[in-house]
Amino acid sequence: MQQYSDLEKAALEVFVTSAEDPIYACRADLPPEVFGAFGSFFSRNPKDLRGHLFDAIHGRIKGHKIDDESAAQENLMKLAGGEFLSPAEALRSGVSKSQAFFREWYGKYSHKSIANTVWIPFVGTQVSQLFARQLAFDQLAFFIEQSTRYVKFDVENLHMDAAIMKSSHRDLYIGTLQEAADAYQRFTDLAADHHAKEWPFDRWLRSKEGQDDPIAKAEDKSQRRAYRRELKAMAFDVARLLLPQAVKTNIAWILDARSTEWDIAAWKGHPLTEIRRSAELIEKAGGAIAPSLLKYTEENPYYGEQYRNFDGALFADLPAECMKKGVDVISYDPDALDKSLAMLLSRNNRSADVSRLLGFVKDKLNFDDKIEILRTVTKKRGRHDEWVDVEEAFDCMSVTVQFRSDIGAMRDLRRHQKWDRNEGIYTLDNGFYLPDVIREMGAEAVSTYEEVMGRTFDAEQIIRKDFPHAAQYLVPMAAMHSITMRAGLDQFQYFVATRTTPQGHFSYREDAYNLATAVCKAHPWLLGLKEFPEGKGIDEVYENAPLKGILRPYIGETGLHT
């Protein structure tokens, strides 16, 4: 490992966390493009990235050398002394014709593999729910989105689709959105009043004591502040069902340059003006961070045609049919127990043909032996051990399911980025979700809710004749929707553990319990059972399950939200 003087270490540690440790992180002052360029050397050059940084500061990059050693020394001193307003300037001044340098090395050492290492942080403000859904299809886009629980959405500033606003549907579009906006405002207040009556402070506090929540031991002032906050959150959970897809949100995400480049090219052919415009803005913003990497961003007509649904060529003329909440297993492997054990044995033994291990499991182990292996694997699993297997052994067997639920719940389910997913165009053809809590709020609340849904559906049917994709902006979060998702069994158990917690939204909690029931009926061995008991719910079955180390749903009273 190269040795550096104290001055050189201080200069390097402006860009990295350590000039000496074998593992280190790169600081924000190291431009992503520089990280990618120097990282590209690894495939052909054994030198540490810090060595390349040092060469850049000194102007010693091959083919881009600077003869002025005094300038290099000045760079070191300024960096070490914190005199550069932007430390990245030291690298730029140390590498002449920097963009030519980047293009040369990216081209030489594979554009795509280098682009994978350059991650770009983006922020989208005042974007619609349809933008957020489109972004979430990119499984490498890790995002944080404005919460419908903790933020009262601005329903006075909804997305006005440019094409619709120029059409004869303009007034119908605006009027329909305005009615939904007014209902959202009213339901926020109605739901807050309802929950205050259903959950008076004393009952709420007792529920916290039952959950061993720290707030139960806090001072009265803090408890009442938390109580009001939770009432407000619960009200938003109900009211969000009325929010249309035109409601705007803020979202921050990071994405590698390769995926960003792909999205830009594909989105440029999207039928929604908002998505096409977003592609241009992402290209502009990303180009300011990694200009030499976003190279192949021309519109991709192949993917554009798919976004346009082949202009109706694959349309299936099915009559509308109302959906009910539920989960259906589309496909699974009946031999998943044996194959999962073979995978676990494979990872915990010297390398062997997996088919031999599978034969061993089938021929040498009875059901009790197999469950005992799973107990051995999970017996020390603690509360914060999210995964069954430390690597990927338990994810090699997958299950494909269909969720039938409201779009609002789907908004939360799509956060599980490692699940593959497929879904159609948003519509009210499938009916809408009417939760028990709205029925409990009284006949007037139910009537208002149903009227908004009915008039929105009428408007959607009219507008979609001319604008089949833009009509989605009208569709409320309450609309029932189908989404097909696939993941490994470790992802499945994590989903159930995450989405059944007391803090979860009542809608997706129901979806998570439905998922647990459906998958455990296909794979009862996940609970140590040969068969799932007929006519029993997941809560009762889990309570008496012989194996609880794999699946860990929350069973108990929910109370309000934290």
Strand partners, 144: 252
Backbone angles phi, psi at 382, to 5 degrees: -95, 180
Structural domain boundaries in the chain = 6-115
Q: By the 8 A CB rule, do 245 and 161 touch?
A: no
Judged on CB neighbours under 10 Å (0-12, 13-18, 19+), 485 is: buried
Which residue type occupies 129? Q
Contact 150, 495 (CB under 8 A): no
Measuring CA to CA, which residue among 408, 451, 470, 457 is closest to residue 431? 457
DSSP codes joined into one string, 508-524? HHHHHHHHHHHHHHH-G
DSSP 4: -
Asked if 504 and 523 touch (Cβ cutoff 8 Å), the reply is no
Question: Mind giving me the DSSP string for 366-396?
Answer: -HHHHHHHHHHHHTT--TT---SSSSSGGGS
Distance CA 317, CA 308 (A): 17
Count CB neighbours of 52 within 10 A.
21
Question: What pLDDT does residue 384 have?
Answer: 93
CA distances from 198 to 110, 170, 204 (A): 62, 42, 9
Closest by Cα among 91, 139, 117, 75 to 290: 117
Segments of 168-219 assigned E as strands: none
pLDDT of amino acid 531: 97
Identify the helix (H) or strand (E) that includes residue 289.
helix 273-289
Helix (H, G, I), strand (E, B) or coil at 557: coil
Query: Which helix or strand (DSSP H or E) is residue 26 part of?
Result: none
What pTM did the predictor assign?
0.86
**Which pLDDT value is given to residue 486?**
98
Q: What is the pLDDT of residue 43?
A: 53
Please state at what angle helix 443-463 crosses helix 170-198, rounded to 10 degrees.
160
pLDDT of residue 525: 98
pLDDT at position 561 is 46
Tell me how far apart the alpha carbons of residues 68 and 26 are, in angstroms, rounded to a whole number: 27
Q: Spell out the per-residue pLDDT of the chain, length 562, in tens.
A: 688 899 989 988 888 888 888 777 778 777 776 777 676 665 556 677 788 888 887 777 666 555 666 776 777 788 777 776 566 666 655 544 445 655 665 555 556 777 788 888 888 888 999 999 999 999 998 888 888 888 888 899 999 999 999 999 999 999 999 999 999 999 999 999 999 998 899 998 998 888 788 998 999 999 999 999 889 989 999 999 999 999 999 888 889 999 999 999 999 999 999 999 999 999 998 887 777 788 899 999 999 999 999 999 999 989 999 999 999 999 999 999 999 999 999 999 999 999 999 999 999 999 999 999 999 999 999 989 999 999 999 999 999 999 999 999 999 999 999 999 999 999 999 999 999 999 999 999 999 999 999 999 999 999 999 999 999 999 999 999 999 999 999 999 999 999 999 888 999 999 999 999 999 999 999 999 999 999 999 999 999 999 999 999 998 655 544 4
pLDDT at 98: 47
The crossing angle, in degrees rounded to 10, of helices 336-347 and 367-378 is 50
